[in-house]
Structure 1
């Protein structure tokens, strides 16, 4: 397909997503657990260096203001919420706890969080993976007290739970060799530990009557500007030893999700391999309309990867030409493409055994 046509289709997809849906929502609510890839403002309320509550973050968002999202605009769950016919999901710490504010979903994600509770702790406060699940449990309990157990259970079992976590266990734990972890675990064994821990929490969520879960894999973090700078790559080549860990983790998690689907017959669990979707964008960047693939739009140092995005003066003028927004996070244009793939595989298949659209209309492929 001609490159200009592909770019045109992406733009049309983004523009259409700005139009609010008047149809009945495809799910009653959308709940989000994760890290900075999906944090919609949790860390604004915490004492941490991992904050995106200042310009130029949010400059291309609907309000053109920083919201706490680690992007120039929308994050993937924003695009998916609109696909589901739901409003953007508010952060758990950003609302007053009233059930009417949470009835369409809550975002518990916190930048710096990992599967291991202490991952990212050198940045300051964050809400860990297990703490986020406890917050979700508390929300469910509030629903039960307000609407009764049967109605609350029906709402939760028909809602979508989206999980995007794990990358900080590499960035802020394994690759930093916290607690001498490199000498205690080979990458494969560390991956097994993380995957088995995530499996346990998925079963705990199932026991809370969650029945529709989207589990996101790891992105090719070895291609992030920070590691291009740190490892001193000359021509923007990805750091393969880091990417190999992401590939292994995704392989394990896809297998675990397949086995859980066999075990938990009344559950729908999707695994989405963000590595596959992201590498398709990196390899075919011309077709997607990206001119700059290794340097971040905003940052400092070679590849803009040495230091995080702190001020508008550090940012490029047009983020849509860039794959990377800052040293670790993609631009909202990339987020839109990945969301399209999660929804229906529009650009490339990366979700198994079905897409989110298939899940909500109960038509597994």
Structure 2
């Protein structure tokens, strides 16, 4: 997922309003692994074109300043941090490295990252899935040195890990036909490879005493303004062959989650189908208050899917009426709806076998 800028903006750790948060946190910490769907500033510190460190990114955020989030406002994990009574989680590269800065969680997500190490590499530096898990391993070692192994294990095993990754393995690998991949793998075999690779990384987290995991599926990227423009769609219909791959990946990932839950003692893993939730928004957009379903709020070209969001002048005035913020990313308003669904299925059921609220309320008791 690509954005271009040259200014580094320090990431900001924000506190949440006590009136809207639980009186005490429902979990000790929230750790985030993923791509630009949940990057909160990692790529501000990397040499990459995939950056969201300039306005109009962040214009509707709490600080009205860009922080590296690929949105006009909040990303889903911001809303979920509020739900569990935690402050917004800082990016791994944007905090000091002190345990006090990381005790409520860390966001390792990096725009452009994929399950495959090289996915997104044409954009410049990024932190891949395997590298993010290594960063978490380093954080865990700091916790052990600071508080002792028992306390660190207790903290990690009771914290929530949110994993949102995989879309760049299509956008910046398979659909670009990197390494002649589409002649080597049919979509089904490529999807199976990705799901199996993700499964192994979840096992690696489990071996580090991670027990509570939310895995989100892929969004309907075939409906994104970039592909509507690229495929020359006249009437705004989604690109079916791209969406089919996302649906297939989600099916395999949900099956993988069910197998892991049965395989790993005490594991509490849920799968949240972002494709289902997003298609519900697209199909029922009027009920949700959206009247622009195909054109991005910020960009250039048809559907504003040709040129990425580079300056405030390129953005619409009312992003809340749009589903898409830029070529690939949804608006803050969509992120809020998806977060509600992950939390308790408020608008439509997305998560299996349970919602995040069911997981953490049971933990809190």
Distance in 1, matches of 2:119 and 2:57, equals 24
Tell me which residue corresponds to 1:139. Answer: 139
Q: Which runs of 5+ in 1 are unaligned?
A: 1-15
Alignment of 1:300-339 (within 5 A): 300-339=300-339
Distance in 2, matches of 1:96 and 1:184, equals 44
Tell me which residue corresponds to 1:236. Answer: 236
Deviation per CA, 1:202-223: give whole Å up to 9, x if none.
0000000000000010000000
State the secondary structure of the residue aligned to 1:215.
Answer: strand
Q: Which runs of 5+ in 2 are unaligned?
A: 1-15
Distance in 2, matches of 1:263 and 1:22, equals 33
Distance in 2, matches of 1:149 and 1:200, equals 24
Deviation per CA, 1:13-58: give whole Å up to 9, x if none.
xxx9884425110000000000000000000000000000000000
Q: CA deviation at 1:62?
A: 0.3
State the secondary structure of the residue aligned to 1:269.
Answer: strand
Tell me which residue corresponds to 2:194. Answer: 194
Distance in 2, matches of 1:127 and 1:142, equals 20
Deviation per CA, 1:77-128: give whole Å up to 9, x if none.
0000000000000000001100000000000000000000000000000011
State the secondary structure of the residue aligned to 1:362.
Answer: helix
Alignment of 1:252-271 (within 5 A): 252-271=252-271
Change (3 A) 1:17 1:192: farther
Change (3 A) 1:221 1:17: farther
1:279 pairs with 2:279: yes
Root mean square deviation, CA, Å = 1.1
The answer as to whether partners of 1:17 and 1:83 remain within 8 angstroms in 2 is no
Deviation per CA, 1:268-310: give whole Å up to 9, x if none.
0000000000000000000000000000000010000001100
Distance in 2, matches of 1:201 and 1:130, equals 7
Alignment of 1:64-143 (within 5 A): 64-143=64-143
Tell me which residue corresponds to 1:58. Answer: 58
The answer as to whether partners of 1:221 and 1:243 remain within 8 angstroms in 2 is yes
The answer as to whether partners of 2:345 and 2:351 remain within 8 angstroms in 1 is yes
State the secondary structure of the residue aligned to 2:276.
Answer: helix
Distance in 1, matches of 2:277 and 2:355, equals 13
Distance in 2, matches of 1:235 and 1:61, equals 32
Tell me which residue corresponds to 1:24. Answer: 24
TM-score, L = length of structure 2: 0.94
Alignment of 1:175-186 (within 5 A): 175-186=175-186
Distance in 2, matches of 1:116 and 1:256, equals 18
TM-score, L = length of structure 1: 0.94
- The total of aligned residue pairs comes to 348
The answer as to whether partners of 2:22 and 2:83 remain within 8 angstroms in 1 is no
